[in-house]
């Protein structure tokens, strides 16, 4: 549901300040692909680090993984992706623009999703055709709906002329976890229940990539799969849901902008599925993470297609069983966008309008900026440079800025969300104190240079 145009301001800031660039821009771009600039990659890495911290380091029974992107083609047959990984698509008969029908129906407030059968969604579409205009030419002359497979084919290792036997790019990152479940068991000897966590790329031939980073054709997913004894899923599922919710709060995201959405329509093997949604400016509430109770489907399928015994052998009571899986799958691009949107603030500080990203210090791409008050006073520059180099050894996400006046430097740092600025001025030369300035309030205080590192470390922890 389009609410306003404030997302445009965020997209513009993201480009202007080196967070996100359109992919292949000098060649006119490539739909659904974006590149992360110098500040974007820092924010993205900080997000990943925080996720890894919460899902691997702070847990005793989770194992990290980084599996290869290319997989044996049978993987995608076993997972059901070659036949069932599709979105409902209709094509405009006038200009050949393709639309994703379930999303168009949802925009009208009609319940629809990609799990509906072709006939179900066609019936619904036929009822509402008159309300859906082509986004390109405005006509209402669409074909009937058909399932469009989202897997992206490659020709890796295929030297035949007809391009048979395709190897796919991953449609979702989690398959690598199922493929390595047995390796983890054989090498790490985990006691059930246990989890595997992975951050990996996914590629989807999205029918209409849109809404900036929200729906792209190349994106990253941060996934956990938690393996439990059959039917011992209920309590663990609730704990996982709570855990994931708390992680978003730990990023400083406004809880009023988050909500749960339970799936009313489930794939046949799932017993429950929930999304965490964020209330994006302009776009409204939409999914940033899915949390799914998947029963024993994934390992059963891979056991059937590979012929390898994937049962867990419980040494305590000698039982052998296929574990059930509780999955969390988060799109990093969507969470990146939610974090930017949540932090984006226009306010007035001491009579001056400004744009400020009120990012949590742990996510901010730059933690501290160091300035000499004046660029042309060598005594200030030398002292500031020493301090900068000393701090940089301890906190590498730090920048030096001596361009233009101090007010403009503050504005620049506010726009990229730098929580603290440190200025070396003439008082520093006599009393070894610096000005420490706080981003959100503009408050300034004098701090002894010797105390600065400890003070900043405390503020950033």
Judged by the rule CB under 6 A, the positions of this chain that interact with ligand ATP are: 172, 204, 206, 215-216, 219, 221, 287-290, 329-331, 333-334
> Which are the contacts of 40, defined by CB distance < 8 A and separation ≥ 6?
14, 18, 19, 20, 336, 365
Closest CA to 332 of 127, 104, 48, 93: 48
Least Å from the CB of residue 91 to ligand ATP: 19
**Which is closer to ligand ATP, CB of 289 or CB of 401?**
289
E-only strand ranges, 85-172: 86-91, 98-100, 146-149, 153-154, 167-168
Other residues' Cβ atoms within 10 Å of the Cβ of residue 61: 12
**Which is closer to ligand ATP, CB of 87 or CB of 91?**
87
Angle between helices 38-52 and 234-250 (to 10 degrees): 140
**Which is closer to ligand ATP, CB of 263 or CB of 385?**
263
Residue in the shown chain whose Cβ atom is closest to ligand ATP:
331
Least Å from the CB of residue 203 to ligand ATP: 9
φ and ψ at 434, to 5 degrees?
-125, 165
Least Å from the CB of residue 221 to ligand ATP: 5
**Which is closer to ligand ATP, CB of 125 or CB of 283?**
283
**Which is closer to ligand ATP, CB of 17 or CB of 204?**
204
**Which is closer to ligand ATP, CB of 333 or CB of 419?**
333
Closest CA to 259 of 236, 235, 280: 280
Least Å from the CB of residue 113 to ligand ATP: 7
Closest CA to 97 of 147, 145, 143, 134: 134
Q: For residue 318, how far is the Cα from the chain centroid?
A: 41
Other residues' Cβ atoms within 10 Å of the Cβ of residue 453: 16
**Which is closer to ligand ATP, CB of 277 or CB of 425?**
277
**Which is closer to ligand ATP, CB of 273 or CB of 363?**
273
> Which are the contacts of 398, defined by CB distance < 8 A and separation ≥ 6?
366, 367, 368, 369, 370, 388, 391, 392
DSSP 8-state secondary structure symbol assigned to residue 151: P
Least Å from the CB of residue 449 to ligand ATP: 44
**Torsion (CA) 200, 211, 29, 41 in degrees, nearest 10:** -40
Least Å from the CB of residue 211 to ligand ATP: 9
Pairing label, strands 258-262, 218-228? unpaired
Distance from C-alpha of 58 to C-alpha of 60, rounded to nearest angstrom: 7
Least Å from the CB of residue 334 to ligand ATP: 4
Least Å from the CB of residue 331 to ligand ATP: 2
Least Å from the CB of residue 295 to ligand ATP: 16
**Which is closer to ligand ATP, CB of 211 or CB of 306?**
211
């Amino acid at each position: 549901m389009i609410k306003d145009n404030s997302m445009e301001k965020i997209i513009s800031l993201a480009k202007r300040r080196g967070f996100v660039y359109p992919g292949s821009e000098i060649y006119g771009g490539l739909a659904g692909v974006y590149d992360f600039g110098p500040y974007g990659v820092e924010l993205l890495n900080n997000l990943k680090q925080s996720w890894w911290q919460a899902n691997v380091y702070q847990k005793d029974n989770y194992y990290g993984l980084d599996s290869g992107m290319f997989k044996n083609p049978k993987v995608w047959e076993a997972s059901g992706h070659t036949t069932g990984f599709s979105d409902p698509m209709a094509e405009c008969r006038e200009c050949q623009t393709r639309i994703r029908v379930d999303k168009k129906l949802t925009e009208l407030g009609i319940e629809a999703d990609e799990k509906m059968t072709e006939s179900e969604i066609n019936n619904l579409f036929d009822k509402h055709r008159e309300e859906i205009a082509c986004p390109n030419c405005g006509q209402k002359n669409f074909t009937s709906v058909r399932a469009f497979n989202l897997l992206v084919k490659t020709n890796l290792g295929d030297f035949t002329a007809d391009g048979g036997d395709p190897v796919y790019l991953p449609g979702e990152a989690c398959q690598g976890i199922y493929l390595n479940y047995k390796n983890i068991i054989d090498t790490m000897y985990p006691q059930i229940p246990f989890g595997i966590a992975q951050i990996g790329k996914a590629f989807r031939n999205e029918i209409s990539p849109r809404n900036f980073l929200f729906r792209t054709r190349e994106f990253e997913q941060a996934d956990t799969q938690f393996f439990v004894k059959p039917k011992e899923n209920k309590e663990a599922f609730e704990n996982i849901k709570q855990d994931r919710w708390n992680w978003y709060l730990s990023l400083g995201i406004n809880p009023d902008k988050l909500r749960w959405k339970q799936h009313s329509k489930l794939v046949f093997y799932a017993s429950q599925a929930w999304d965490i949604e964020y209330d994006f400016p302009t776009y409204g509430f939409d999914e940033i993470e899915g949390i799914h109770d998947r029963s024993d489907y994934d390992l059963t399928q891979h056991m059937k297609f590979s012929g390898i015994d994937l049962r867990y052998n419980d040494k305590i009571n000698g039982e052998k069983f296929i574990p059930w899986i509780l999955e969390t799958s988060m799109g990093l691009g969507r969470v990146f966008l939610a974090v930017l949107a949540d932090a984006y603030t226009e306010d007035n500080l001491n009579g001056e309008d400004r744009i400020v990203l009120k990012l949590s210090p742990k996510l901010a791409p730059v933690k501290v900026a160091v300035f000499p008050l004046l660029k042309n006073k060598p005594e200030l520059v030398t002292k500031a440079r020493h301090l900068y180099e000393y701090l940089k050894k301890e906190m590498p996400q730090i920048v030096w800025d001596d361009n233009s006046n101090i007010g403009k430097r503050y504005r620049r740092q506010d726009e990229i969300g730098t929580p603290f600025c440190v200025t070396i001025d003439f008082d520093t030369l006599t009393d070894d104190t610096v000005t420490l300035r706080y981003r959100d309030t503009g408050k300034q205080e004098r701090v002894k240079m010797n105390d600065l590192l400890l003070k900043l470390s405390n503020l950033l922890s």
